[in-house]
Structure 1
Amino acid sequence: MRLILAAMLLLLAPAAAIAQPSPTEQTMMQTVVAEHDRHIALLERLVNQNSGTLNLPGVRIVGDMARAELEPLGFEVRWVDMAETGRAGHLIATRAGRGRNILLIGHLDTVFEADNPFQRFERDGARAVGPGIGDDKGGIVVIIAALRAMQAAGTLDDANVTVVLTGDEERIGSPGSVARRDLVAAGQAAAFALEFENLAVDDGAEFGTIARRSSTNWTLTTSGRTGHSSGVFNDALGYGAIYELARILDGFRRDLPEPNLTYNVGVVAGGTPAAIDAEGFNVTASGKTNIVASTAIARGDLRTLTLEQDERVRARMQAIVETHLPRTDAELVFAGNGYPPMAPSEGNRALLARLNAVNRDLGLPEMAEYDPARRGAADSGFVAQDVDTLGGLGVAGGNAHADGEWVDLDSLVRQAQRAAVLITRLSLGAE
Structure 2
Amino acid sequence: MRLLLAVLFLFALPPAVHAGPSRAERTMMQTVTREHDRHIALLERMVNQNSGTLNLAGVRAVGDMVRAELEPLGFEVRWVDMGETGRAGHLVATHSGRGRNVLLIGHLDTVFEADNPFQRFERAGARATGPGIGDDKGGVVVIIAALRAMQAAGTLGDANVTVVLTGDEERIGAPTSLARRDLIEAGKAAAFALEFENLAVENERDFGTIARRSSANWTLTTTGRTGHSSGVFNDTLGYGAIYELARILDGFRRELPEPNLTYNVGVVAGGTPAAIDAEGFSVTASGKTNIVASTAIARGDLRTLTAEQDARIRAGMQTIVDAHLPRTGAELVFGEGGYPPMAPSEGNRALLAQLNAVNRDLGLPEMAEYDPARRGAADSGFVAADVDTLGGLGVAGGNAHADGEWVDLDSLVRQSQRAAVLISRLSLGE
**TM exceeding 0.5:** yes
Which residue pairs with 2:38 in the alignment?
Answer: 38
Give 3-state SS (helix, strand or coil) of 2:333's partner: strand
CA distance in 2 between counterparts of 1:130 and 1:345 reads: 35
Which residue of structure 2 lines up, in the alignment, with residue 325 of structure 1?
325
Aligned match of 2:373: 373
Matched length? 413
The TM-score, its normalising length taken from structure 2, stands at 0.95
State the match for 1:117 in structure 2.
Answer: 117
Aligned-partner SS, 1:198:
coil
Which deviations, in whole Å up to 9, do the C-alpha atoms of 1:29-53 show, x marking residues without a partner?
Answer: 1110111010000000000001111
1:20 shift after superposition: 2.4
- The TM-score with structure 1 as length reference comes to 0.95
SS where residue 110 of structure 1 aligns? coil
1:218 matched to 2:224: no
Partner of 1:14: none
Match of 1:94 in 2: 94
Q: Deviations over 1:125-183 (max 9, x none)?
A: 11100000000000000000000000111110000000000001011111111111111
1:394-405 residue pairs with structure 2 within 5 A? Answer: 394-405=394-405
**How far, CA to CA, are the matches of 1:156 and 1:396 in structure 2?**
25
Letter in 2 for 1:152: A
What does the per-residue CA deviation read over 1:96-150, in whole Å, with 9 as the maximum and x for residues that have no partner?
A: 1100000000000001111111000000011100000000000000000000000
| Equivalent residues of 1:73, 1:151 under 8 A apart | yes
**Displacement of 1:86:** 1.2
Q: Measure, in 2, the Cα distance between the counterparts of 1:56 and 1:272.
A: 40
Q: Residue 218 of structure 1 aligns to a residue in which SS?
A: strand
Cα deviation 1:377-409 (Å, max 9, x = unaligned): 100000000000000000001111111110000
- Runs of at least 5 residues in structure 1 that lack an aligned partner in the other structure: 1-17
Partners in 2 of 1:274 and 1:175 — Cα distance? 28
Q: Secondary structure at the match of 1:138?
A: helix
Task: Determine helix, strand or coil for the equivalent of 2:193.
Answer: strand
In 2: Cα distance, 1:141 partner to 1:388 partner: 23
Distance in structure 2 (CA, Å) of the matches to 1:319 and 1:87: 36
Deviation at 1:236, TM superposition (A): 1.2
Residue range with higher mean Cα deviation, 228-237 or 112-121: 228-237
CA contact (8 A) 1:173 1:337 kept: no
Amino acid at match of 1:121: F
Q: Which runs of 5 or more residues in structure 2 are unaligned?
A: 1-17
> What does residue 15 of structure 1 align with?
none
**Mean Cα displacement is larger for which, 201-210 or 80-89?**
80-89
Partner of 2:263, secondary structure, is: strand
Partner of 1:277: 277
Give me the identity figure in percent.
87
1:189-200 to 2 correspondences below 5 Å? 189-200=189-200
Aligned mates of 1:222, 1:83 — CA distance in 2: 36
Shift in Å at residue 19 of structure 1? 4.8
1:73-88 equivalences in 2 (<5 Å): 73-88=73-88
Counterpart of 2:352, as a letter, is L
2:64 aligned partner: 64
CA distance in 1, matches of 2:271, 2:66: 49
| Secondary structure of 1:263 counterpart | coil
In the alignment, structure 1 residue 261 sits paired with structure 2 residue 268 = no
1:22 is matched with 22
Deviation at 1:231, TM superposition (A): 1.1
Question: Is 2:241 the counterpart of 1:241?
Answer: yes
1:252-286 C-alpha deviation (Å, 9 max, x unpaired) = 00000001100000000001111111111111111
Deviation at 1:314, TM superposition (A): 0.3
Contact kept in structure 2, 1:220 and 1:297, CA below 8 Å: yes
CA distance in structure 1 between the partners assigned to 2:188 and 2:61 by the alignment: 28
Which secondary structure does the structure 2 equivalent of 1:313 belong to? helix
2:230 corresponding residue in structure 1: 230
Separation (CA, whole Å) in 1 of partners of 2:337 and 2:408: 33
1:301 maps to what in 2? 301
Aligned to 2:3: none
**Which residue of structure 2 aligns with residue 422 of structure 1?**
422
- SS of the aligned residue for 2:78 comes to strand
Q: Distance in 2 between matches of 1:356 and 1:68?
A: 32
Instruction: State the Cα distance separating 1:205 from its structure 2 match.
Output: 0.5
Question: In structure 2, what is the Cα distance between the partners aligned to 1:365 and 1:174?
Answer: 41
Deviation at 1:84, TM superposition (A): 1.2
What amino acid is aligned across from residue 195 of structure 2 in structure 1? E
1:262 match: secondary structure: coil
Paired position in structure 2 for 1:172: 172
In the other structure, the counterpart of 2:205 is 205
Asked if 2 retains the 8 angstrom alpha-carbon contact of 1:19 and 1:362, the reply is no
Offset of 1:238 from its aligned partner? Answer: 1.0
The amino acid of 1:130's aligned partner reads G
For 1:128 and 1:88, the matched residues in 2 are separated by 27
